[in-house]
Structure 1
């Protein structure tokens, strides 16, 4: 009985040398080199970064259009450098491009670290935090360049990301969940010996319902982003562990189906999406902490076929501006 095979094109032979030879990076990936074109060392690992670049541009556009805090505009610009640097690194496999790729990941996460801890702090504390975070980024840069050990970079990046995620989750729960918010309000009322009117009680119920919905959506974003991010990491590790076998499978499948077995390419797609979810979550959380919960809303038409955006409710925003004027 004949075996059913998908229509495919045989893989061209990998080449030892290409336009950017010799390879000077301290990392090698499972994708074979220069098999598609002599001008790009790893075609799939390069092209998958276009999603990261597009997501970064979407984030920059939304920050400019909807007036998000400047730190998030800078973070999305850093995200753009991550995608562009990774594209350049996998295209050339040159050590300087590797540093652009990997260190931009560290610097962008350091920006989010500072943004997470500096909010509503005195200027002096913000300055001290900025100096400490900048010093940490400099230490990681110099020590990584000295060691040239990718494990150090990956560990530093994982720790920074975990710290920011845990801190942001804590802030989200303590400041938005009605239970904790009402305890804080009750304490303030007792201190001021203030009674609450019926209209204020109705407004509190509205805020409670709103905040519960916001928390549900935020936790959905966190879970979705984290699942995608960790899934990409798992696929990349399988790519590293079973590289030789996967290369054989790719050649048996042929093009274009073998592309689906490019694990590091999946890492780019999935961690890019996960990082985007994380930054957008941070944008929304910051607006809530700034007392602008009713002025901004989540736009996420479909969980699996669209990406979330935080957009300004122009009606409420303009109404608030009129009241202030």
Structure 2
């Protein structure tokens, strides 16, 4: 691949940018192998925000429904795609960033719509979200300059707006006594608000921001957007998962805020899924009868043993009294 010389004197390994967006950070400022070094580096925050909940709760993965596993892993894939996009500024790698974002927001919408239902309530919902994601993927994968940029933000923005509305309604429905959950959700809202603000500033005020000293090294997109959106997604998804376990599935769990928001299971060996109870419920009548018969036999044996011990104790008390009276008879 042909190299491209930059104003800093470096040669870019990946060649001229072909992506529809070149962010405010200067290209190849640090190394010729990363187009936007700090944007690429801080994209790992997003990947970590997705995989960290799975690692923290790995011992209780039986308590994590597949909807949450997929949602968390989707966030991780977005982060890795962002690393590739910012590191190369190639259009094919830009799709690795944008397409996972479309599928991730679709998965989060499924989680939100089914949040308060023990069993799936909307059978058409997965089909509708799948169709949306496929259409959005096809529309944003075409290399057509401004139209590609508009298509992606139209599809992604619509789904994100719907997700924000659902999360807001969810937050407003929380009881006031669920203080820990409300705190975690509030942290998530604040982080996302800051993230969107600095994203817009970096996008619209690039020339003005470059007047600040060494802005390429601490730019808002890298250290603001990537970091804050990671914190926001982490807190909100943890809060939603906790609410489902605690309120919907009625599990004995608590929400801990330190050192990171996480879910504590009480007792540690809590059975989260209904698989155990379902298996017990499927015992046939003969097995239940045998179990009941053994229980009754054990109960009778214990009763008889108890009665014999009472009789023996009574006899032991009576005999000495008779001997005592006989001595004075």
C-alpha separation in 2, matches of 1:145 and 1:319: 40
Which residue number in structure 2 is paired with residue 139 of structure 1?
135
Q: Structure 1: 5+ residue runs without aligned partners?
A: 1-11, 178-211, 252-256
User: Does structure 1 conserve the Cα–Cα contact (< 8 Å) formed by 2:49 and 2:234?
Assistant: yes
Cα gap change, 1:282/1:122 in structure 2, threshold over 3 Å: closer, same or farther? closer
User: 1:112-123 maps to which residues of 2 (within 5 A)?
Assistant: 112-119=108-115, 120=117
Instruction: Give TM-score, length-normalised by structure 1.
Output: 0.72
Structure 2 residue corresponding to 1:28, chosen from 13, 19, 22: 22
Quote how far apart the aligned CAs of 1:307 are.
Answer: 2.7
Cα gap change, 1:96/1:318 in structure 2, threshold over 3 Å: closer, same or farther? closer
User: Does structure 2 conserve the Cα–Cα contact (< 8 Å) formed by 1:298 and 1:311?
Assistant: yes
Is 1:107 equivalent to 2:107 in the alignment? no
User: Does structure 1 conserve the Cα–Cα contact (< 8 Å) formed by 2:24 and 2:219?
Assistant: no
Cα gap change, 1:170/1:30 in structure 2, threshold over 3 Å: closer, same or farther? closer
Which residue number in structure 2 is paired with residue 81 of structure 1?
77
Q: Structure 2: 5+ residue runs without aligned partners?
A: 1-5, 281-329
Instruction: Give TM-score, length-normalised by structure 2.
Output: 0.71
C-alpha separation in 2, matches of 1:25 and 1:258: 19
Quote how far apart the aligned CAs of 1:279 are.
Answer: 1.1
Q: Higher RCO, 1 or 2 (CA under 8 Å, sep at least 6)?
A: 1
User: Does structure 2 conserve the Cα–Cα contact (< 8 Å) formed by 1:34 and 1:40?
Assistant: yes
User: Does structure 1 conserve the Cα–Cα contact (< 8 Å) formed by 2:54 and 2:69?
Assistant: yes
Which residue number in structure 1 is paired with residue 270 of structure 2?
317
User: Does structure 1 conserve the Cα–Cα contact (< 8 Å) formed by 2:188 and 2:231?
Assistant: yes
**Residue by residue, what CA displacement relative to the aligned partner does 1:178-210 show, whole Å, maximum 9, x if unpaired?**
xxxxxxxxxxxxxxxxxxxxxxxxxxxxxxxxx
Cα gap change, 1:121/1:239 in structure 2, threshold over 3 Å: closer, same or farther? same
User: Does structure 1 conserve the Cα–Cα contact (< 8 Å) formed by 2:194 and 2:224?
Assistant: no
Which residue number in structure 1 is paired with residue 237 of structure 2?
279
C-alpha separation in 1, matches of 2:11 and 2:268: 59
**Residue by residue, what CA displacement relative to the aligned partner does 1:5-60 show, whole Å, maximum 9, x if unpaired?**
xxxxxxx9535741111211000101000111000011110111122222222122
Quote how far apart the aligned CAs of 1:237 are.
Answer: 1.6
Is 1:68 equivalent to 2:64 in the alignment? yes
User: 1:82-231 maps to which residues of 2 (within 5 A)?
Assistant: 82-119=78-115, 120=117, 126-146=122-142, 148-171=147-170, 177=175, 212-214=176-178, 216-231=179-194
The structure that has the greater radius of gyration is 2
After superposing on structure 2, the runs of 4+ consecutive aligned residues of structure 1 that deviate more than 4 Å are 171-174, 318-321
Structure 1 window deviating more from structure 2 (164-173 vs 74-83): it is: 164-173
Query: Aligned pairs, how many?
Result: 266
Cα gap change, 1:89/1:258 in structure 2, threshold over 3 Å: closer, same or farther? closer
Which residue number in structure 1 is paired with residue 254 of structure 2?
297
**Residue by residue, what CA displacement relative to the aligned partner does 1:151-183 show, whole Å, maximum 9, x if unpaired?**
432343333233233324435655x63xxxxxx
Cα gap change, 1:115/1:39 in structure 2, threshold over 3 Å: closer, same or farther? same
